[in-house]
């Protein structure tokens, strides 16, 4: 009986914690307006400018932080905290930040901005943007996307970066493997 009671209690706590986490996540998302702009400087270094606006009062931005890259996925974090004192004061934060992504090969990449509440410490994925470097579907660099480009990806299909048949030019999503996404991307730009 005792065991069953603790099992029910643990289950209830688990459900409750999941539910409250979910509620916090949903409500916090409405505090932001996010805009991404991808650009490159004269040295072929890539940047993402993130513009973030609080559309509600009671919070302030405390800083930005670049997070580790995972293949073609980049992420950065915006830290924020509660405004001390009168939370009903009109505090609308509007700030931009440049995240340097370094020099990138032609391809398709993603950038996700995470929100970190300094006091609570949790991460919340706020928004993701997908951006292209160069003209990745033109794999043989002859200025057009045609059957030759599709053939190059098809030949490398199913390989990963340790295979001799792996072709990094055909790895459009830069994730170390040639799969259906790389073929689909090339096909989507066919004729350009």
Nearer to Ca ion (CB atom), residue 95 or residue 142: 142
Rounded Cα gap, residues 38 and 59, in angstroms: 27
- Asked if 138 is part of the footprint of Ca ion (rule: CB under 5 A), the reply reads yes
Going by C-alpha positions, the residue among 108, 103, 81, 110 that lies closest to residue 93 is 81
Binding Ca ion (rule: CB under 5 A), the pick from 93, 149, 156, 175 is 149
In the complex, least distance from residue 21 CB atom to Ca ion, rounded to whole angstroms: 48
Binding Ca ion (rule: CB under 5 A), the pick from 37, 140, 163, 190 is 140
- Asked if 37 is part of the footprint of Ca ion (rule: CB under 5 A), the reply reads no
**Which tokens belong to 141?**
């660099």
In the complex, least distance from residue 189 CB atom to Ca ion, rounded to whole angstroms: 10
- Asked if 186 is part of the footprint of Ca ion (rule: CB under 5 A), the reply reads no
In the complex, least distance from residue 64 CB atom to Ca ion, rounded to whole angstroms: 38
Going by C-alpha positions, the residue among 41, 48, 50, 190 that lies closest to residue 109 is 48
Rounded Cα gap, residues 77 and 98, in angstroms: 12
**In angstroms, how far is the first alpha carbon of the chain from the final one?**
70
- Asked if 142 is part of the footprint of Ca ion (rule: CB under 5 A), the reply reads yes
Q: Which of residues 90-129 bind Ca ion (CB under 5 A)?
A: none
Q: Mapping DSSP to helix (H, G, I), strand (E, B) and coil, where does residue 130 land?
A: strand
Interface ranges with Ca ion (CB under 5 A): 138, 140, 142, 149
């Amino acid at each position: 009986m005792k065991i069953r009671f603790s099992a029910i209690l643990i289950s209830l706590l688990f459900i409750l914690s999941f539910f409250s986490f979910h509620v916090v996540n949903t409500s916090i998302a409405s505090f932001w307006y996010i805009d991404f702009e991808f650009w490159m400087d004269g040295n072929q270094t890539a940047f993402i400018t993130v513009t973030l606006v609080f559309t509600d009062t009671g919070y302030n931005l405390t800083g930005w932080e670049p997070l580790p890259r995972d293949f073609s996925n980049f992420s950065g974090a915006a830290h924020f905290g509660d405004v001390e004192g009168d939370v009903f004061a009109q505090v609308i934060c509007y700030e931009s930040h440049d995240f340097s992504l370094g020099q990138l090969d032609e391809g398709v990449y993603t950038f996700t901005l995470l929100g970190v509440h300094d006091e609570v410490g949790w991460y919340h994925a706020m928004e993701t943007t997908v951006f292209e470097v160069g003209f990745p579907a033109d794999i043989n660099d002859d200025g057009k996307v045609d059957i030759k480009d599709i053939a190059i990806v098809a030949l490398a299909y199913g390989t990963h970066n340790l295979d001799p048949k792996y072709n990094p030019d055909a790895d459009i999503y830069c994730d170390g493997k040639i799969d259906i996404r790389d073929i689909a991307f090339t096909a989507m730009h066919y004729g350009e």
